[in-house]
Amino acid sequence: MTRRPLQPGATLGVLGGGQLARMWSHAAQSLGYRTAVLDPDPHSPAGLISHLHVQSAYLDPQGLARMAQACQAITTEFENVPAAALAQLQQQLPVSPGPAAVEVAQDRAAEKAHFVRCGVPVAPHRVLADANALADVPDELLPGILKTTRLGYDGKGQIRVHSRAELPGAFAQLQNGNPSVVCILEKRLPLAAECSVVLARGLDGQCVHLPLQMNQHRDGILAVTEVHEQSLPVGTQQHAIDAATQIARELDYVGVLCVEFFLLQDGPEKTALGPLVVNEIAPRPHNSGHHSIDSCDVSQFELQVRCMAGLPLCPPRLHSPCVMLNLLGDLWWRDGTERSPDWAALLALPGVHLHLYGKTEARHGRKMGHVTITAQDIETARHVSAKAAALLGIPA
Ligand code: ADP
Ligand code: MG
């Protein structure tokens, strides 16, 4: 399918007004588009900088009608926006990614089934619809991680389960009195590292991708991403890119998609599954791709805009190896008092690109911004990043 590109001056819309929508708005606006955001929060980071901010709930018919009337194309910044809202909008204008793909990403069970269909290795798992299903859990899934199939993010909605005896308690805790909550138990795999591929797929099926990202999480939240050409052997990188491309193609996906992978340590799991196991997908730009604003000649946000507007996709080129550090609300607090980090000291370091999302309330674990450190080689970027982390108070 092809479509005439939307001309600058057209309005592009996004459901959700957080930092992803804000950075996407920046990219859309620099290409000359107007932006519209649907988010109930009057202070949403993207609402603050968009031409139009529709302040309504995601399923509010009036809010959706206002977006349909104002916009020529729509996207979403998070997968938990009701697929029904996207489906309703899709009757009136192009929506990318489409509701069917977002629905798969919303549900860990559907997501895993999709990976299996694509022939990509996944962690051994079992979907647990109710407490009766716990008795049939095979021993080989323990120790495991019990996750709700829906609405989990940043390590929320999951519990590590060391033994069978811990399963009923963990299941009850995740259900929290709601019997319709379905869980999935995954075998806990021995991880050597984690990585991700951010790709963009156009309406015509053309696929481009960012360079592979190496990701470190802290307390379930992405903490550090490193990007450089030698991060993994070329064959492994290609393997991840091919798997991600296959996952997108089989979803008939249009837009930016992130695919997260586990790299396994040597051992029986690696012998059985291979070195690379797919973890999950995010149907949108991803925190691990934020570096692309400063390290690549096309960012993940511009790619999303190009997909939506029906513009050509150019393969992004990494022009600078980089390290990205997330800035969580904790950094604003020291000894119980709130104070801003020393931005001037940070910006005195070479190759530092600071991004703050315009959030006023610095809460524990809240993503307030990120900093990308670019350099001519990864060793220099790491060296500067260590200095930046020390002066911001980011734990090593
Ligand atoms: P979220 O949606 O919160 O990002 P993930 O499924 O990606 O949830 O899990 C968060 C983190 O927990 C992963 O990045 C990884 O570090 C760890 N993890 C999740 N599943 C497994 C697993 N099966 N084996 C080992 N570690 C896991
Ligand atoms: Mg994850």
Q: What is the mean pLDDT of residues 23-29?
A: 98
Q: Is the CB of 279 under 6 A from ligand 1?
A: yes
Identify the CA nearest to 324 among candidates 354, 300, 363, 284: 354
Amino acid at 21: A
Domains 11-95 and 124-187 share a fold: no
Sorting pLDDT into bands at 50, 70 and 90, what band is 84? confident
Q: Is the CB of 87 under 6 A from ligand 1?
A: no
- Centroid of ligand 2 to alpha carbon of 349 (angstroms): 30
CATH 3.40.50.150, domain 11-95, yes or no: no
257-298, pLDDT tens digit by residue? 999 999 999 999 999 999 999 999 999 999 999 999 999 999
CATH of span 124-187: 3.30.1490.20
pLDDT at 135 over 80: yes
What's the pTM value of the predicted model, to 2 decimals? 0.96
Q: What is the mean pLDDT of residues 130-141?
A: 92
Per-residue pLDDT, 388: 98
Q: Is the CB of 150 under 6 A from ligand 1?
A: no
- C-beta separation of 143 from 163 below 8 A: yes
Identify the CA nearest to 286 among candidates 78, 55, 111, 129: 78
Helices and strands, number each (H, E), in the chain: 12, 19
SS3 label, residue 382: helix
Q: Is the CB of 273 under 6 A from ligand 1?
A: no
CATH of span 191-392: 3.30.470.20
Identify the CA nearest to 257 among candidates 317, 307, 311, 186: 307
Burial annotation 24-37 (CB, 10 A radius, 16+ → b, else e): bbbbbbeeebbbbb
Q: What is the mean pLDDT of residues 45-67?
A: 96
The neighbour count for residue 375, using CB atoms within 10 Å, is 20
Identify the CA nearest to 129 among candidates 155, 108, 101: 108
User: Structural domain boundaries of the chain?
Assistant: 11-95, 124-187, 191-392
Give the ligand 1 atom nearest the CA of 108: 6
Burial annotation 172-198 (CB, 10 A radius, 16+ → b, else e): eebbeeeeebbbbbbbbbeeeebbbbb
Q: In DSSP terms, which residues pair with 227 in a beta bridge?
A: 322
